Structure formats: C-alpha cells, structure tokens
Amino acid sequence: MATYHSGEIAVQDRAELSDQARFSLGGIGEAIPEVAAAFLAEQPMIVVGGGDATGRVWASQLTGPPGFLRTPTPRVLTVDALPLPGDPLADVLAGHRRSVQVGMIAVEPATRRRMRVNGRAVTGHGGLRVDIDQVIANCPKYLQKRNYRFLEFDAEPAPTRTVTDGAALSVAQQQTVRAADTFFIATTSDRGDADASHRGGNPGFVQVLSPTLLRWPDYVGNAMFLTLGNLALNPAAGIVFPGWETGSALHLTGTARTLWDQARTARIPGAQRLVEFSIEAVREISAASPLRWSAPGYSRFNPPVR
C-alpha cells in the first residue's frame, strides 16, 4: 500500500493540502497497469534520475524507437538503452550490475500525457531492468505539446557529439535556461529513493539570478509534493534542459530549497511557493539525443511570465 514519507507529509502540512494529498495517494501504485504498459511501449524517450558515485544527483534522458520500453511483468520495466559515454549517469548505469535506485518519467508531449516509474535498476544485456516500487500517473498541466521525429542519418549529416563541463552557466547557457519552457528534475530522499519529475511553463518561468543560482515558481499540482518532499530530507538535486530542436542536453547538479516567503511568491503569477537551485556543476552535451521535436504548443495552464 502506498504511503508518503516524512518529508512529503511535512510539505503537505505546511502547504495546508494534506486532505488533497490523501486523496491523491490513490494515484500511486506498485505495478504498471495494462494501459500504462501500452503508453510506455509507444514512447521514444524516458528521463531517468539518480545519484552518482560522489553523491551528486543528475537527471538524464534515454531514447530509442518505440518499443524500447517494455513491461514483461507488471512489476518490471525493461529499457533497451543505456547512457552514452559522457552522460553524467553513464558510470552509474552503464557499468554496474548492482541495484541502483532510479526515478523515471515518460512524457508524450503530443498528447500531454506522462507517468513516473520509480524503482531499482540493474544493468544487463545493453539495457536496464527496473524492479518497480512506485508507478504514478500525472496530470497534463504545464506540458507543452510537441511532435517528434528521429534524425535520419542517411539524409542528414551526423552531428558531432561534444561534452563541455563547468562550475557555472556560461552566457549562452543562461540564455538557454531563460528561453526554456520545460525541464526535468531528479531528487532523492534521505534513504536514497529516487524520483524524476517534469516542470513546465512559459519561456522565462525559470529565472537566472546568477551564473550559479536559478529560481522557478512551484505551480498548483496534485499536492503529493514528491519532489519538494525529497528536498525537505535531502537538498541534492539534478536538472536536465533538453534541446528539443537540436538534440543537446544541458545537465545541472547542485542543491535546491523551497522558499515559503509569501511576499516574494505573490509577485510571481501562479506561484504557490518558489524553489531556488544552487548550481555545483554543469555538463552540456551536444548530439545527446537523435530526437528532434517540433515547435511547442504552450499549455493553456501556463501562468503568464512577467
């Protein structure tokens, strides 16, 4: 039976949404139902989050033709892909047979559907086997509509893959963040249980306060507070900004905290509270994905950005 941990309960109580959270608990399962298995089988991408050997948390993306995500049983998800060299989770997921806690989220921008799968991953046979702990269906709010295609290497030149590391955002990377309408965030509890989640809004919803400090609004959601609950117990977090049109990926790792300052929150349309993210390391990868996505159709739920 699904339960919330102490961090999630603490945030639910502080937000005065405990009753709604108890109702939402019914959306957390321990197995993948048939409709969800069919959804996963149609997806070309899944975002995965977890910790590296140093304790830093990262978010990344795995891609493959539809069918690369399979559910041989309701309690097992197999992923026929591994992170490529240079990916911040490559050493953790591509070279070990021990169990690793991962949080995953699959999104289908064309239909604004998404679902989260959390569990324990083991590497083998060129992919991952994930033993399921949690399956969570999410609402479509703040998810921008996009269609995808795979890069046709026979018709288009293969892009050069480069990996660039830093301790702060460059000027160009700051512009990437300011222009973003979507990112994915990975967190872990104090016990290491991992989760990956989606954040979306109109371009500009993520503020760049400095080359090492970001801030974004936390909008109305399902009141589970799985991300903020983890942060209440363990501030380590990882973010990935996908390059929808280019196939690049901007990975950030650091720490995050929730701001409950009502005066500052009231100045941001739609914000219920704010989250600040302190950057400790940056990794930008060109040609991180063979997927190319269309221009976005913005969600009608996105609050305006001043």
Q: With beta carbons less than 8 A apart as the criterion, state whether 109 and 145 touch.
A: yes
Residue 252 is encoded by which pair of tokens? 């950030």
Q: Name the least confident of 145-149, 150-154, 216-220.
A: 150-154
The model's pTM is 0.96
List the structure tokens of 57. 């948390």
At position 90, the amino acid (one-letter code) is: A
φ, ψ (nearest 5 deg) of residue 96: -130, 145
CA–CA gap between residue 195 and residue 11 (Å, rounded)? 16
- C-alpha 241/C-alpha 253 separation (Å) is 12
User: Per mean pLDDT, which range of 60-69, 149-158, 176-185, 215-224 is the poorest?
Assistant: 149-158
| SS3 readout for 152-219 | CCCCCCCCCCCEEEECCCCHHHHHHHHHCCEEEEEEECCCCCEEEEEEECCCCCCEEEECCEEEEEEC
Residue 154 has pLDDT above 70, yes or no: no
